Chain A
Amino acid sequence: MSDIAIQVEGVGKRFRLRSSGGRTLKSMVMDMIHAPGSERDLWALKDINFTVERGSTLGLIGANGAGKSTLLSVLAGTMMPTEGAIKTTGVISSLLELGAGFHPDLTGRENVFLAGAIMGLTRAQMNRRLDAILEFADIGKFIDQPVKHYSSGMYVRLGFAVAVEVDPDILLVDEVLAVGDASFQRKCLRRMSEFREQKKTMLIISHDLGTIQSVSDQILFLDHGRVLGHGDPGKVVGQYETFWRNQASSERSREWGTREVILTGAEFSDEAGHASTKFSWGQPLTVRLGYEVKTPVGRSVFGFGISDEAGRLVHGSNTEIAAVTIPGLSGSGHVVLKIPSLNLARGTYFFSFSVHSADHKVNYHRMDNAFAIGVESDKNFEGICFMPSEWRVG
Chain B
Amino acid sequence: MCAKGFGIVFGRDSSYTLATMIGLVKDIVARRDLLAMLVARNVKIRYKESVLGFLWTLLGPVFLIAIYAVFMKIIMKFPMPMTVLVSGIFVWQYLAMCLGDSSFAIIGNANLVKKACFPRILLPFSIVLANFVNFVLSLLVMLVYLLFVGPQFREIAWLPLAMLAHLALCTGVSLALSALNVFFRDVQHLTGIFTMAWFFLTPVVYDVSMISSITSKYPILGQLYFLNPMAGILSLYRTALLGSPLPSLNSLAISVGVTVVVFVAGILIFQKLQPGFADEL
Contacts and interface: CB of A to CB of B under 8 A. Distances in A.
A364 interface: no
Contact of A100 (B2, B33, B115): B115
Given A78-B116, A101-B112, A118-B112, A94 B33 contact: no
B117 A76 contact: yes
Given A77-B117, A78-B117, A106 B41 contact: yes
A76 B1 CA distance: 12
A105 interface: yes
B113 interface: yes
Nearest to A123: B33
Query: Chain B contact residues (Cβ within 8 angstroms of A): what range?
Result: 20 to 34
A97 B41 contact: no
A78 B12 contact: no
A118 B34 contact: yes
A92 B6 CA distance: 13
Interface in B162-184: 183-184
B48 A105 contact: yes
B112 A80 contact: no
Secondary structure of the B contact surface, majority rule: helix
Contacts of B31: 117, 120
Query: Chain A contact residues (Cβ within 8 angstroms of B): what range?
Result: 20 to 34
Nearest to B48: A105
B206 interface: no
A36 to B, nearest CB: 14
B49 to A, nearest CB: 8
A121 B34 CA distance: 8
B26 interface: no
A80 B10 contact: yes
A97 B115 contact: yes
B275 A97 contact: no
Contacts of B114: 73, 78-79, 96, 100
Nearest to A90: B3
A77 B279 CA distance: 12
A142 interface: no
A376 to B, nearest CB: 36
Interface in A68-109: 73, 76-80, 88, 91-92, 94-97, 100-101, 103, 105-106
A106 B112 CA distance: 15
A157 B31 CA distance: 26
A103 B115 CA distance: 14
Contacts of B1: 91, 120
A77 B12 CA distance: 12
A76 B114 CA distance: 10
Nearest to A28: B184
A15 interface: yes
A64 interface: no
B154 interface: no
A78 B10 contact: no
Most buried by B among A114, A118, A120: A118
Contact of A77 (B6, B37, B276): B6
Given A23-B184, A76-B117, A117-B31, 13 more contacts: A77-B6, A77-B117, A78-B278, A88-B3, A92-B2, A95-B116, A96-B115, A100-B112, A105-B48, A105-B49, A110-B41, A119-B116, A121-B33
10 contacts: A15-B279, A77-B10, A79-B279, A80-B275, A92-B3, A96-B116, A106-B41, A114-B41, A117-B34, A120-B31
